[in-house]
């Protein structure tokens, strides 16, 4: 292999593919990045067997070839090169990559590209769906926060994000037993066929970072055996394994809107600032924040009271104006879950729907996305 490319393009491609490089692995090749020529461009790929990322970089290719090189060493070297043309040449006999740029010349020992795990490509498989990249990035941010962490829940299916495709809609959902996040989006065109799959939440988070800034719709496809899903853009391919198992019937946890006894409409920014302040106290009180909804009496508007009482450090009370529809209500929530629910809503106002102190709180944006974030209650001391 012999080619030349710009340092800034090579650096960006290595950064993208590097997100899929294994930190620790019994297979040394998984700590490497694959460099290969493809259709007159340089292909850079990382694969940790959970996800795989392939980035294509413009290059002047004089000779085709492939090699895998330690990812950190190559990325650090390229990152410190001047913004100029970088020449790459592989000696297939010694499996050595020579990197040349201005006065710098480095030889790096690699591993044969044949040892690098093969990754599926879009190939001849029909595209299942097209997803606008800006929507994909937003959806990921709204949903992944509700997926279970590996160290808190051993159930792999709860560590994933459900993607349900039907008609012209895609629904994304995550649930960890304490909260639920669901977002439905309209697709630019109907899906090839209805489908349902669960992707690890870590992979979804990486997907949002990797493809969220693409300029064209992301093509989504599933491998014939259903074990992997492919997201394809013009310059990047993202592959993730699919979690085997049945996702919970999350819809049964969502209280019907007709059963809501109290609906509070609050300024999202004001609510978020109040929660941030009261978290300073609730963190010393078992992370509990108590929400009290009080209706107005005609002359005074309704209000939402937030209270945190920590015996060791003191008590804090926040009062926010709110439009309260229905009965007065009370609810205790985990303050971190409350912060993350509000952080996923970008409309000016948010609605909090409650029934009883033992029922979940349901957060919905006002005048915005088809999104809900449900948080289970905590016991009020």
**pLDDT above 90: residue 296:** no
Report the distance separating Cα 163 and Cα 126, nearest Å.
18
For 179-211, what is each residue's pLDDT tens digit? 999 999 999 999 999 999 999 999 999 999 998
Q: What is the 3-state secondary structure (H, E, C) of 221-275?
A: EECCCCCEEEEECCCEEEEEECCCCCCCCHHHHCCCHHHCCEEEEEEHHHHHHHH
pLDDT at residue 301, rounded to an integer: 83
Arithmetic mean of pLDDT, 103-130? 92
Quick check: 120 pLDDT over 80? Answer: yes
**Of 13, 15, 20, 19, which is closest to residue 36 (Cα–Cα)?**
13
> For the chain, what is the mean pLDDT?
93
Check pLDDT > 80 for residue 381: no
Which residues are registered as beta bridge partners of 88?
A: 3, 99
| Mutual angle of helices 201-211 and 133-143, in 10-degree steps | 150
Q: How far apart are CA 175 and CA 155, in angstroms?
A: 11
Q: Edge-to-edge strands of the sheet including 129-131? A: 66-70, 32-38, 41-47, 51-58, 236-241, 228-232, 218-222, 129-131
CB 192 within 8 A of CB 219: no
In DSSP notation, 354-370 reads ESSTTSPEEEEESSS-E
The helix/strand/coil state of 11 is helix
Res. 124 pLDDT band, cuts 50 70 90: low
pLDDT of 246-275, one tens digit each? 999 999 988 887 777 899 999 999 999 999
Which pTM value belongs to this model? 0.91
Picking from 58, 73, 143, the residue whose alpha carbon sits closest to that of residue 108 is 73
Q: Is 203 helix (H, G, I), strand (E, B) or coil?
A: helix
Q: What is the pLDDT of residues 228-240, one digit of tens each?
A: 999 999 999 999 9
**Cβ-contact 141, 125 below 8 angstroms:** no
* Per-residue confidence (pLDDT) for residue 150, from 0 to 100: 83
| pLDDT tens per residue across span 141-191 | 999 999 999 877 789 999 999 999 999 999 999 999 999 999 999 999 999
């Amino acid at each position: 292999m012999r080619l030349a490319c710009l340092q800034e393009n090579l650096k960006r491609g290595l950064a993208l593919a590097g997100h899929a490089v294994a930190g620790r692995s019994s297979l040394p090749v998984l700590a490497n990045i694959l460099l290969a020529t493809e259709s007159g461009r340089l292909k850079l790929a990382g694969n940790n067997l959970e996800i795989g990322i392939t980035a294509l970089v413009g290059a002047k290719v004089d000779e085709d070839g492939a090699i895998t090189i330690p990812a950190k060493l190559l990325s650090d070297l390229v990152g410190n090169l001047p913004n100029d043309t970088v020449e790459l040449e592989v000696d297939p006999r010694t499996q050595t990559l020579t990197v040349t740029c201005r006065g710098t010349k480095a030889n790096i020992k690699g591993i044969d590209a044949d040892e690098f795990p093969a990754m599926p490509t879009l190939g001849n498989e029909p595209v299942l769906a097209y997803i606008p990249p800006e929507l994909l990035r937003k959806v990921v941010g709204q949903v992944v926060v509700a997926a279970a962490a590996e160290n808190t829940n051993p159930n792999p299916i709860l560590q994933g994000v459900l993607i349900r495709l039907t008609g012209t809609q895609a629904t994304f959902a995550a649930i960890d037993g304490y909260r639920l996040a669901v977002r439905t989006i309209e697709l630019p065109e109907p899906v090839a066929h209805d489908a349902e799959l669960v992707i690890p939440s870590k992979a979804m988070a990486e997907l949002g970072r990797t493809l969220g800034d693409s300029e064209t719709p992301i093509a989504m496809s599933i491998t014939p055996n259903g074990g992997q899903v492919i997201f394809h853009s013009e310059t990047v391919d993202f592959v993730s394994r699919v979690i085997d198992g049945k996702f919970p019937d999350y819809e049964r946890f969502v209280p019907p809107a007709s059963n809501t006894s109290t609906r509070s409409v609050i300024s999202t920014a004001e609510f978020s600032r109040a929660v941030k302040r009261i978290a300073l106290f609730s963190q010393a009180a078992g992370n509990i924040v108590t929400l009290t909804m009080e209706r107005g009496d005609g002359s005074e508007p309704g209000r939402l009271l937030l209270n945190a009482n920590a015996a060791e450090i003191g008590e804090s009370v926040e009062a926010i104006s709110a439009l309260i529809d229905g009965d007065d209500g009370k609810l205790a929530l985990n303050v971190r879950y409350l912060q993350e629910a509000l952080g996923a809503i970008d409309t000016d106002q948010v609605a909090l729907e409650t029934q009883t102190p033992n029922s979940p709180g349901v957060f919905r944006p006002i005048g915005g996305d088809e999104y809900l974030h449900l948080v289970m209650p905590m016991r009020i001391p």
